[in-house]
Amino acid sequence: MSAIPSAASSVAGNSGVNRFNEMSSEDFMQIIFTELQQQDPFEPNDSSALLDQLNSIRQIESDISMTEKLENIVFQNQLSSAGNLLGKTVQGILPTGDRTAGSVLSVLREGDSVSLELSSGYLLPMDNVEIIVDPSMLP
């Protein structure tokens, strides 16, 4: 089974850091096939543990994909909610810790977050909004 350590070490790389968790399902399949080729036919290895690990890797890949899709949906929902605040007056806390208030002039995407440009000249992160007032609803 000398081919298995070499396949595993090619995944680990030269950095000395164990990168087994970053192994793709193709890498894992290569290791399984190498093991099957190298095993003694009169004393076969139990492949069920390897197949269980493969299923675990596939489940993790599926979970990661679903998480990315859900994060995208949450971001789009936040962007849509922020768009509904255009023209409304909001109050919240700036990243500096100071309070600010003003009418929402525009909605800005900043990386993975959404900020509101206020008439007061500040950018207020959407997550920091505390009060929303619709001026058309005031007497």
Along the 139 residues of the chain, how does pLDDT read in single tens digits? 444 444 444 444 444 345 555 777 788 788 878 877 877 777 777 677 777 877 888 899 899 999 999 999 999 999 999 999 999 999 999 999 999 999 999 999 988 889 999 999 999 999 999 999 988 877 7
The four Cα atoms 10, 16, 21, 23 give a dihedral, to 10 degrees, of -10
**What order of strands is seen across the sheet that includes strand 129-133?**
123-125, 113-118, 99-110, 89-93, 129-133
Q: CB count, 10 Å around CB of 128?
A: 16
Q: Contact 118/101 with Cβ under 8 angstroms?
A: yes
What residue spans define the domains of the chain?
Answer: 3-77, 85-137
In CATH terms, the fold of domain 85-137 is SH3 type barrels. (2.30.30)
